[in-house]
Structure 1
Amino acid sequence: MNVLVTGAAGFIGAHCVLRLLRDGHDVCGLDNFNDYYDPQLKHDRVAWVKALAGEFPLARIDLTDAASIDELFQSHRPDVVIHLAAQAGVRYSLQNPHAYVDSNLTGFLNILESCRRHPVKHLIYASSSSVYGANARTPYSVQDGVDHPLSLYAATKKANELMAHSYSHLFGIPCTGLRFFTVYGPWGRPDMSPIQFAKAIAEEQVLQLFNHGEHERDFTYIDDIIESIARLLERAPYPTVHRDREQPDPASSLAPWRIYNIGGQHPVALRSYVALLEKHLGRAARIELLPLQPGDVLNTCADASDLARATGFQPCVELEDGLGRFVDWFLDYYPQQPAHVLGAAELQRRRL
């Protein structure tokens, strides 16, 4: 199929393009290579994909440029759009809220409009586990309400789900939203905890743990995310004809629209996560415990049973294995100065 991947130079986007090319699809990418973090990492991801799977067209377009996006749809004629481009980050949304409106709302509207003008078989777009916000019950289920976001980032992702539903209802665009849970792995974003924590530990800098390290996160390895997307590619949603009007399922609709969680389903305490990084890096962390930050969710845990029923797959990479693969990449991409690597006994002594 012809597949358009937005955010193709991003963390998930680059892995997605690689998988699609290897599966024999005709892929066109879109990315604006902005400087939210070092653009060199984005260029290096693209070079990595091309080295493993060959060349592919990659348009340098900003999501707010509606005319250029429409021209790209006109020229590539995608069967499927995988929309992964967005302004990410919970804490950054406190500093620069307009970036989230521009990219996540106006930008998504431009994608929806192009899907309307140039009909596609399936629009798959990234949502986020952050939409669950103040929900206290875990595991988070797609049948739960998500009406109390704790950050503007989360609010824009919830808005994307609503916008997609309206276009699905009005214009028959099959839309699937994916709520990702703490994705990690090689080529990850430097503003996320794996690289931030690994750098702090490797460089013997202070590692700040908010909420006094009491967070729990449902970590999801990148390969599990990509396998889920690949299986959903040709599974465009259908209207739920026999919808219970008394107790409607928030994850399905009379329109061709669906929502799925993609998460590891095994939440891990932040301190245990740090201990695994220490183990793989062979160095002890210098930890500073700090209060809860505005916008942070305390604990996350996915119920991915709907995904399993739809695709026959659910995330399966254990955190220790996934972090080992991440650290191998991290040490290769961010070469460290020679330093004494600690054994297990010394690591334990330093923690105490």
Structure 2
Amino acid sequence: MANYIVTGTAGFIGSRVSEVLIENGHSVIGIDNMNDVYDVRIKEFRLNPLLSMDGFTFYKKDIADWKEMKAIAEAHPKIDAIINLAARAGVRGAGERPFATVESNTMGALSMLELCRHYDIPKIIQASTSSIYGKNPPYPTPESANSDYPLQAYAASKKGAEALCHSYHHLYGVDVSILRFFTVYGRAHRPDLAMFRFVQWITEGRTLHLNGDGEQSRGFTYLDDIVRGIQLALKPLGFEIINLGGHEVITINGLIALTEELIGKKALIEYHPAHPADMQQNWADVSKAREMLGWEPRVGLREGMQVLVDWYNQERDWAKDIETGSL
């Protein structure tokens, strides 16, 4: 079976990817610096089950630290692929931490590409974002849409990582699959994103803070659909950029109404001005994923949201106190 480096292994996507790979008989070298971009308790919740699994090795390190990354590669001489999911995520927070965002998202990607180059690692999957498409892309948005005008530092840092990936494929023959994720959600969700916030705020009777009028829309993508796409993209593809996105687009007002229904309580909504870093809409064209990977989203929004609500209720004793960040 294969040996994989998974960065951001305590993250929302990385922890589930690691779990599934190990369940399928692979070994995972997990790397995460456990930063405090959001409440570390939820990262610890995701990481702790992995630590008890055979086939999992964990390093609490920063992927932008080249010396430390070299040491990990030298300790594990046979790596089949890198799945680079580590990032300073968040379109709004990136404006408050631009240097840290570029360090993690762009320089971190460079470290992973250098590992591929110097340690004969043939494949890298680089996580990217739908935010890269900017303000007015066509809908549904194909990979060929212009991505030269990102609206915030987060998307710009991911664009930089994508450019580095292309250069390393061209110069050194690294097989690169760039996966542009569209608004991922699921159990143990990031607490600074809308879905976790809405579930917590409505369940606990707290004020639901809403930026804009709620008519902005998203094509939400369930976590396990993303994980399946990542697995499928591990095969040799050369250099490809592929969207992974959900098939159901809903307004934020519609999402609030669905969350109210699933929880059985009404939201106490307080409106705030729209944030300039936010896109008005995202909606993925996944034709390429269907053709190249045999992938399409399977989990509907209601089903996926029910999983998140059930998880929250199961973990409510501590999840109710998770910090959800500033607006």
Q: What is the correspondence of 1:263-342 to structure 2 with a 5 Å cutoff?
A: 263-335=245-317
Partner of 2:323: none
Given that 1:135 and 1:148 are in contact with CA atoms closer than 8 Å, whether structure 2 keeps it comes out as: no
The number of residue pairs the alignment matches comes to: 318
Does the CA contact (< 8 Å) of 2:137 and 2:145 recur in 1? no
Residue by residue over 1:174-232, the C-alpha shift from the partner in whole angstroms, topping out at 9 and shown as x without a partner, is 01100000000001111111111111111211112212111100100001001111112
Equivalent residue runs for 1:335-350 within 5 Å: 335=317
1:49-91 deviation per Cα after TM superposition (whole angstroms, max 9, x unaligned) = 456x546100111122111101111222311100000100011
Letter in 1 for 2:253: R
Alpha-carbon distance in 2 for matches of 1:136, 1:105: 23
Equivalent residue letter for 2:258: L
Please tell me the residue identity of whatever aligns with 2:73: F
Give TM-score scaled by structure 2 length. Answer: 0.94
Structure 1: state its 5+ residue gaps.
238-255, 339-352
Report the CA distance shift for 1:118/1:293 in structure 2 as closer, same or farther (over 3 A).
same
Asked if the contact 1:215–1:299 (Cα under 8 Å) also holds between the matched residues in 2, the reply is yes
Percent identity (aligned): 38
Q: Give the residue type in structure 2 aligned to 1:188.
A: H
- Name the counterpart of 2:243: 261
Q: Which residue of 1 aligns with 2:138?
A: 137
Q: What CA RMSD, in Å, does the superposition of the two structures yield over aligned residues?
A: 1.6
1:200 aligns with 2:201: yes
Larger radius of gyration: 1
Alpha-carbon distance in 2 for matches of 1:334, 1:163:
42
How far 1:2 moved relative to its partner?
A: 0.9
Deviations 1:295-320 (Å, cap 9, x if unpaired)?
Answer: 11000000111011112121121100
Residue 261 of structure 1 deviates from its aligned partner by: 0.4
Q: What is the match of residue 44 of structure 2? A: 43
The equivalent residue for 1:175 is 176
Partners of 1:154 and 1:260 in 2: how far apart?
16
1:253 counterpart residue number:
none
Whether contact under 8 Å (1:202, 1:336) holds in the other structure is no
* Alpha-carbon distance between aligned partners in 2 of 1:265 and 1:307, rounded to the nearest angstrom: 13
Alignment-derived partner of residue 156 in structure 1: 157
Shift of the 230–293 alpha-carbon distance from structure 1 to 2, 3 Å rule, reads same
Q: Match of 1:147, SS?
A: coil
Q: 2:73 & 2:210 partners in 1: Cα distance? A: 44
Which residue pairs with 1:13 in the alignment?
14
Residue in 1 aligned with 2:70?
Answer: 70
Deviates more, 1:217-226 or 1:111-120: 111-120
**Counterpart of 1:106?**
107
Residue aligning to 1:188: 189
Q: What SS does structure 2 have at the residue aligned with 1:283?
A: coil
Displacement of 1:160 in angstroms is: 1.0
Amino acid at match of 2:63: L
The structural deviation recorded for 1:336 is 8.3
Task: Say if 2:312 and 2:319, in contact at 8 Å, map to a contact too.
Answer: no
Please say if residues 27 and 55 of structure 2, whose CA atoms lie closer than 8 Å, have aligned partners that are also in contact: no
Residue aligned with 1:335, SS: helix
Stretch deviating more after TM superposition (61-70 or 177-186): 61-70
Indicate conservation of the 8 Å contact 1:209/1:287, yes or no.
yes
Structure 1 residue 337 displacement after superposition: 11
Instruction: Deviation per CA, 1:75-131: give whole Å up to 9, x if none.
Output: 223111000001000110121111112111221111111111012121001000000
With 165-174 and 289-298 compared, the bigger mean Cα shift is at 289-298
What stretches of structure 2 of length at least 5 have no aligned partner?
321-327
Distance 1:124 1:223 in 2: 17
